[in-house]
Amino acid sequence: MQALSNEVLTIKINPKGAELTSIFNHETGLEYLWNGNPDFWPKQSPVLFPIVGGLRNGTYNYKGKSYQMGRHGFTREFEFEVTQQTKSSITFTLQQNEKTLKQYPFNFSFSVTYSINKNMLTCAYSVTNTGYEIMYFSCGAHPAFNVPLTSDTTYTDWYLNFSSIENTPKWVLSKNGLIDNEPVTFLENTQQLPLNKPLFYGDALIFKNLQSNAISIKSDKSTHGLTLTSTGFPYYGIWAFKDADFVCLEPWFGLNDTEASTGELNEKEGILSLAPAENWTKNWMVELF
């Protein structure tokens, strides 16, 4: 386990999957990240790469060959190497290996950098195409934050606050983890979404066109909370395991397949491409208060 600390925050990261395991604020005395209770969901903040969501039949095609890959990709399966570290930041890197090439036929360098500044945590993703052909990929975040955040409140005391007024439908996941063809009316002229556990009984809430670049977890019964800012991410998932005390805020570059998906990797909705030697970077930030 690796750790970073300053006068306000201590964060911990597991090199396996480069996954956050703790965000503790010394000033508030609060732990903001879900504890990974295996009775509900054993993960805490998985990194999503090189796909986001699930594939139709767990399979995709590339250059006439079929490949299998699990939901949200394979990063959680691998130990990352610490490639750079300072007092306020740490970088974890994964490169292609024999096991990744069986699922994903590209040479790559994928780095995740965590940095802290006062009460702010930043997570940056960096993807470099180290091969000789165009590389196709998706990338996204999946941090699970404690709700309720304080012991004197309940789950339904908390709500999500969007930075902009939202008028947007949600895209529903079918039982096999694919996105339905038509969205459902959901957010209508509002900046708030009250939290309750049945909200997630049908799996994640998926959005394709949120106006907000920041979402906060707040309560009128507490001065504490957090704000996650993720400018430029085209897709967003909001999710919690059934009856668990957390909510995931998930900015994404990439999306689940639909029943109509062709299965061709280069035609997958939201897929990104990199020419040889090109680099792609993006970050999200969370303020803990």
pLDDT at res. 181: 86
Q: What is the pLDDT along the chain (289 residues), one digit of tens a residue?
A: 999 999 999 999 999 999 999 999 999 999 999 999 999 999 999 999 999 999 999 999 999 999 999 999 999 999 999 999 999 999 999 999 999 999 999 999 999 999 999 999 999 999 999 999 999 999 999 999 999 999 999 999 999 999 999 999 999 998 888 998 899 999 999 999 999 999 999 999 999 989 999 999 999 999 999 999 999 999 999 999 999 999 999 999 999 999 889 999 999 999 999 999 999 999 999 999 9
What is the spatial distance between Cα 107 and Cα 255, in angstroms, rounded to a whole number? Answer: 22
Q: Which of 168, 157, 164 is nearest to 205 (CA)?
A: 168
Q: Which pLDDT score, from 0 to 100, does residue 254 have?
A: 96
Give the residue ranges of DSSP H helices in 41-167. 98-103
pLDDT at 177: 86
The SS3 assignment for 56 reads: helix
One-letter amino acid at 246 equals F
Predicted local confidence at residue 174, as pLDDT: 86
- pLDDT, residue 83, reads 98
C-alpha dihedral (104, 109, 110, 112), degrees to nearest 10 = 160
Residue 176's pLDDT is what? 83
